Chains A and B, each alone.
Chain A
Amino acid sequence: MTTVPGTRAPIRRDRSRIKVRNTVLTVITYAVALAFLFPLVWMFLAAFKTEAEAFASPPVFAFTPILENFKNALPSYFPALKNSVIAAVGSTVLAFVLGLPAAFALAVYPTTRAQGTLTWMLSTKMMPAVGVIVPLFLLFRNLHLLDTLPGLILMYTTMNLPLVVWMMHSYMTEIPFAIYEAAKVDGASVAQEFFGIALPLSTPGMAATALLAVIFAWNEVFFAVNLTSSDAAPLSVFISSFKTSMGLFWAQMSAAAALTVLPVLIFGWVAQRQLVRGLSFGAVK
């Protein structure tokens, strides 16, 4: 208490110096952030250029925006978009159907075994996809699941299920336990607790989890490349068809890429706060 008046003075004297320092730091922050955004900005700009402008050197900064690239990209974009939407939404729904009851049971009936189960589920995330791809590929081939959407949905569900269980578990443990107890006293069944209490009270958590699961499935490359080829090829496979284009279709490639990343960018910006929780499996909130 008594030290406060004595130390106020030097702080005041330093104020202008601190102000300059703060401004400098803010400018640096903006510069770094813009540098990180540049590749994306450059890509979005190229989407509105003519092909000649897109790979002109020195680069063109002032140009008349055109929409032709988007028009040209759309015919091959739409089938891939359809596959991506079905695979992302389908796998998210399936992961919820399987994961929500598990998350509920683990949250409401916590035992030592439940903790172990939870850890085990997380550990499946440590299994690199390359450790399972060979048998899965052979299995899919025999079951005629190669290059089909159900096959892709099955794999994306595997990828998202631990995420759904962990995130929903963390949201459901936040529901006050007294609510469940009151319901039990009133004779509620497990199903009533699940549908009547746990689900309605964790709706915001479900929205955040769903958004994350969709983003992960949308951006997935490994299973997409190795388990699909044409019929079920999602956007990641469609974009990879541009990997050999040597400077000829930059504008069209940029338009396709812009259409591919824009939905996820918007989702991610919206779900920004929940992103941390999901990405760290609740370890950092």
Chain B
Amino acid sequence: MTTVANPTTTTASPPAPKRGLKLTPAALIWPAMLYLILTTQVPFFMTVYYSFFRYNLVIPDDRPFIGFGNYTTLLTNPQNLQVVWNTLVLAGGTLILTLLIGGAMALLLNRNFPGRSLLRTLMISSFLVMPIVTAVVWKNMLLNPVFGFFSWVVASLGGQPVDWLAQYPMASVIAMITWEWTPFAMLILLTGLQSLPDDQLEAARLDGASPLQEFRHIVMPHWTQAIQVVVLMETIALLQVYGEIYGSTSGGPGLATTNLPYFIYQKAFAEYNIGLASAAGVITVILTNILAIYLLRMINRTNQTNKGG
């Protein structure tokens, strides 16, 4: 009765759908929601559950509840604390380097010169390379102590050949991952720079601002949001680095380059220690979320200040 087409109806609510085709907004959202709940939230709660048991796949029937036992084991063993420390050093070190190099590269590319767009396109290549390819190519062809390209460079400069992955494992891994992630920082930071109106810079120049002042008072405030996006996205991604370590050092030598994801992989898939691996997984999730929430808050605060100003 009410479904008779009425051209004067301009209400915002959608017209009642026909029978059999009940596509309400909720019905459209639920499949995606349900899928994500089933594949992320449910497994995570199972991880939390497993983390309270002494559970090894080798002896699947003996599964005693041990409360926070796995967590105590994890957090009291100094070796495991080194793994947490490695995770932070790897993520933090790479983040700082990619911000510095990526930022400098963005400033360099934000000028007019021949071949600029080609360079910009080519620069993103290393970000697109599969992490495992990065790992095997760097390990074998660049960092190899005898035949590697870097050793040849060092030797031809009169130095001693270096076994990079053995002598400077963490620095080598950070260099490798920095190579991968600098284009990401560069790309986001360059886009941030390009949205800076030219007239602002020109006005500052006419007022006699030095390049340094120009950078500090005009470029930097405008750049903040892009920088925060890089920090947030990279933090989440770099805490999860796995392929590069799996393909190059396998966490070694010793524990020198073992981060939390690689540690969990070893506990779960080499030692079948499901309980301990789960506890480490929970710690990784908590660590990631603390950092992410903190960074998100910071971004929101800046956004509000920008809107207010």
Contact = CB atoms under 8 A, between A and B. Distances in A.
Interface of A: 3-4, 7, 22, 25-26, 28-30, 32-33, 36-37, 39-40, 42-43, 46, 54-59, 98-99, 101-102, 104-106, 108-109, 114, 117, 121, 124-139, 154-155, 157-158, 161-162, 165, 181, 184-191, 193-194, 215, 218-219, 221-222, 225-226, 235-236, 239-240, 242-243, 245-247, 250, 253-254, 257, 260-261, 264-265, 267-269, 272, 275-276, 279-280, 283-285
Given A114-B29, A276-B187, 17 more contacts: A26-B113, A29-B105, A29-B109, A37-B125, A104-B28, A130-B265, A131-B282, A133-B281, A135-B46, A157-B35, A157-B39, A189-B21, A190-B21, A221-B131, A239-B247, A247-B140, A284-B192
A130 B25 contact: no
B15 A219 contact: no
A222 to B, nearest CB: 5
A22 B243 contact: no
Interface of B is mostly: helix
A131 B44 contact: yes
Nearest to A125: B236
Interface residues of B, number: 110
A35 B126 CA distance: 11
Contacts of B226: 284
B247 A243 contact: yes
Interface of B: 5, 7, 9-10, 14-15, 17-18, 21, 23-26, 28-29, 31-33, 35-36, 39-44, 46-47, 50, 101, 104-105, 108-109, 111, 113-115, 119-142, 144, 146-147, 149, 151-152, 156, 179, 182-184, 187-188, 191-192, 195, 206, 208, 225-226, 229, 233, 236, 239-240, 242-243, 246-248, 260-261, 264-265, 268-269, 274, 277-278, 280-282, 284-285, 288-289, 292, 299
A243 B243 contact: no
Given A37-B122, A98-B32, A275-B187, A133 B225 contact: no
A22 B113 contact: yes
B285 A133 contact: no
Which of B40, B42, B47: most chain A Cβ within 10 A? B40
